[in-house]
Structure 1
Amino acid sequence: MSIYTAIATSSGRDARAVSSDGRLDVKLALQKELGGDGEGTNPEQLFAAGYAACFASALRLVAGSKQIDVSDAAVTAEVGLSPNGKGGFQLDATLRVELPDGIAPEVARELVEATHQVCPYSNATRGNIPVELVIE
């Protein structure tokens, strides 16, 4: 049973995406790279923003359980769209995690790997798309 359900509606890449509560209302546009005008956001940008925010929150949860301060951490998600060789498309993701100075490299790797096990987006994508974790 879900503890929260987000609901959004859209009719395509050249339309709008609107959440049921009206807090999200964005113009969508096909990317220039796909032949569109690029005059709006796109599903890949929305996915990247959601993944970055979710992973950053999960990182704070995991680090907090280990009494490690990551309040200055930032996560950048890069979401790629490419042909899948079967007439469709596929996603890939790179998560670039910036941690505060002073965290030992092995501790940083352990934190990021543990976060990847906790984050709902990571759990949803695991086995479905390649996700690269980069500590910067």
Structure 2
Amino acid sequence: MKTSRHSQLPRSGRSTRRRIPKVPERGEVWQVDFGVTQKVRPALVIGIPYGDADRALIGVIPHTTAIRGSQFEVVIPARFLAAGAFLVQGLVAIPPKFFLRRLGVLSAGQLLEVERCLARWLGLRAG
């Protein structure tokens, strides 16, 4: 009987090791399932990591291709996104299980542009 390095794999050819899911991080863009009403779409992770005592929710800003020209739409060109904008008025908290896959990361300058627009929409001033 021949043995090979593949002989330890199950018949499916896939490893039996469980993948540890990656936790979405601030500045990353993920494909997120927003449910029936908003469908699956890209979203920017804007929230900070939650702790053990916090609810397992991640703050995101959805990306839309239906641009209206609002002051609260931030157009960010990225190779991993269709032409569109991040809609800061769509800020929502989503449980980690609805994050499907990581698409890419915004640069520090791009993230700052979204943060400034979000602060303006929320009426926050730098202190």
| Normalised TM-score (structure 1) | 0.24
Q: Which has the larger radius of gyration?
A: 2
Looking at secondary structure, tell me which structure has more helix per residue.
1
Q: Which has the higher contact order (CA 8 A, sep 6+)?
A: 2
